[in-house]
Structure 1
C-alpha cells in the first residue's frame, strides 16, 4: 500500500469520493469543494493500492482546547476511511502513521479525535490505535425562531 500526501487534483478527487462514502449525507462534489478550501493547517493523505484509492485520512492542527490534551497545537483526526476490501490489512494504521509523522513535523506532541457515542466500530478503531477515551458528552440544541 502506498501512502501519499495529497498534492494533486486527482488525489483530492479520490479523497472526496472516499469521504462521500464515509459521510453518507455528503456528495463527492460537496466534499471536493470542502477539501479544496481547506486551510494549510489541514492535511490529507491517500492510501493507494496498485490500481485503486483504498482509503484516506483528514487531519488538522488545532490551536484551541482539545479534550484531554495539555499542549498546542494538537493534531486532530478529522476523518479516516478505508474501503471495505482493504480493511484489516494495515491500511488505516499506515494512514494514521503518516498523519502522526506530519503532525510531529508541525510541532504537535498530542493527537485528538472524536466519534459519536453510537459508533462502536469507530470507538474500537480508536482504542486499537492507542487513543484513550477522555470524555463523553451529550450535545443539545434549541430553536430560537419558534
Structure 2
C-alpha cells in the first residue's frame, strides 16, 4: 500500500530518511520533514508492507530553472528510499509513479531528479525508470 503522508507520519519519514542520509541528525530531519509536510508544493508518499513502512518518496514542484527542462513548473524527485531487504521488487517504481501522477495533477509537464556523480546505484535506478541524463556539474564554493 502507498499512502500520502501527513504530520502524524513525521517520525516514520525521518527514521527512513536517516537510513538514506545517515550523515544527518534525526531531530533535524524531523524538523525539516515537518516543514515539508506543511508545504503545498511538496508531498511525501510512504510505502507499506502490512503495517511496516518500508520506504518513502519525496516530490516537490519547482518553479525555478531545472537543469534540462523546457517548462515550468517541474515535478522534482527530491528523495526516494526503500529498505534494503525490500528492494528489487518494483516498490520504488511504484512510489515514483505516485510522484509523477501528483506532479502532473499540479500542472507539471516534465519530471526531474538528481544524484551524486559517484552514486552508481542511483544513476542506474534513474536510467532504468526512464530518466535521461540532462547534465553533469561540479559545484564550487569559497569563503569571502
TM-score, structure 1 normalization: 0.94
Give the match for residue 87 of structure 1: 87
Instruction: Tell me by how many angstroms 1:8 deviates.
Output: 4.3
CA–CA distance in 1 between the matches of 2:83 and 2:124? 17
1:37 to 35, 55, 58: 35
Instruction: Tell me by how many angstroms 1:137 deviates.
Output: 0.6
Give the match for residue 124 of structure 1: 124
1:92-134, Cα deviation, whole Å (9 max, x unpaired): 0110011111111101110111111100000000000100001
1:66-92, Cα deviation, whole Å (9 max, x unpaired): 011111110001000100011001110
1:38-59, Cα deviation, whole Å (9 max, x unpaired): 2211100000001311100001
2:12 to 11, 14, 18: 14
CA–CA distance in 1 between the matches of 2:94 and 2:26? 24
Instruction: Tell me by how many angstroms 1:143 deviates.
Output: 1.6
TM-score, structure 2 normalization: 0.95
CA–CA distance in 2 between the matches of 1:71 and 1:55? 30
Number of aligned residues: 142
Unaligned ranges ≥5, structure 1: none
Secondary structure at 1:102 match in 2: helix
CA–CA distance in 2 between the matches of 1:93 and 1:12? 22
Secondary structure at 1:44 match in 2: strand
CA–CA distance in 2 between the matches of 1:103 and 1:5? 13
Unaligned ranges ≥5, structure 2: none
Question: What is the RMSD of the two structures over their aligned residues, measured on CA atoms?
Answer: 0.9
Displacement over 3 Å in runs of 4+: none
